[in-house]
Chains A and B, each alone.
Chain A
Amino acid sequence: KNQVEQSPQSLIILEGKNCTLQCNYTVSPFSNLRWYKQDTGRGPVSLTIMTFSENTKSNGRYTATLDADTKQSSLHITASQLSDSASYICVVSAQTGANNLFFGTGTRLTVIP
């Protein structure tokens, strides 16, 4: 069964600190994995995309990693800011299927001053 699991479910960190969010998946055949940021009351926005051959990719203070063998991805946020407070959703695409997108339940990050 194609599934995407994220951990932790929620996280509270101090401003300026780093944090890492996890995404494990069982989607097959794998196509790509995206991390989205969703601010409260808004639609998600894409942060990064990881394909099978990519191990790490950065977008500013966001760095995503992918281990296709263990089917795990992480999103590392460096020097967190208050504006990083949001839900982070991992979405995995399968190569086949009419509906080929599988959503994680998200990690709710709160950055406090």
Chain B
Amino acid sequence: GAVVSQHPSWVICKSGTSVKIECRSLDFQATTMFWYRQFPKQSLMLMATSNEGSKATYEQGVEKDKFLINHASLTLSTLTVTSAHPEDSSFYICSARVLGSRNSPLHFGNGTRLTVT
């Protein structure tokens, strides 16, 4: 089955530094990947939609300059949390769909737990 790999699975960084999270579709191509944020005991909150070869679409309230998204190829999207602060500590998850299949299931990565000290 389709596999989405997310790396790293956890990261601890100091306040003010930047952190990059990678999301790869291992055995399929995806023109669109999604980035979510999840706080403890809450559901997923869509942050942005990453489109290969074009700018990402951000949800209302998500700072595009803080959460930089790059979708350089059909199998890789990255989320960079810039100038991280403790309130950015959260669980970040990506998902992807098989290319050309708008209603196929989302395949999720296993998430990245970010802790900003």
Chain A contacts to B: CB under 8 angstroms: 31-32, 34, 36, 41-46, 49, 87, 89, 91, 93, 98-101, 103-106, 108
One digit per residue, 1 when the CB lies within 8 angstroms of any chain A CB and 0 when it does not, for chain B 98-112 equals 000011011011110
Known contacts A43-B93, A45-B108, A49-B105: does B57 contact A99 (CB below 8 Å)?
A: yes
Chain B contacts to A: CB under 8 angstroms: 4, 6, 34, 41-46, 49, 57, 59, 91, 93, 95, 102-103, 105-106, 108-111, 113
Residues on A with beta carbons closer than 8 Å to the beta carbon of B6: 43
From B43, B102, B106, name the one whose CB has the most chain A CB atoms within 10 angstroms: B43
Whether A99 lies near B44 (C-beta < 8 A) is: no
Residues on B with beta carbons closer than 8 Å to the beta carbon of A34: 105
Known contacts A41-B111, A43-B6, A43-B108: does B103 contact A89 (CB below 8 Å)?
A: no
A89 to B113, CA, bound (A): 20
Residues on B with beta carbons closer than 8 Å to the beta carbon of A106: 42-43
Contact of B103 among A43, A93, A98 (CB under 8 A): A93
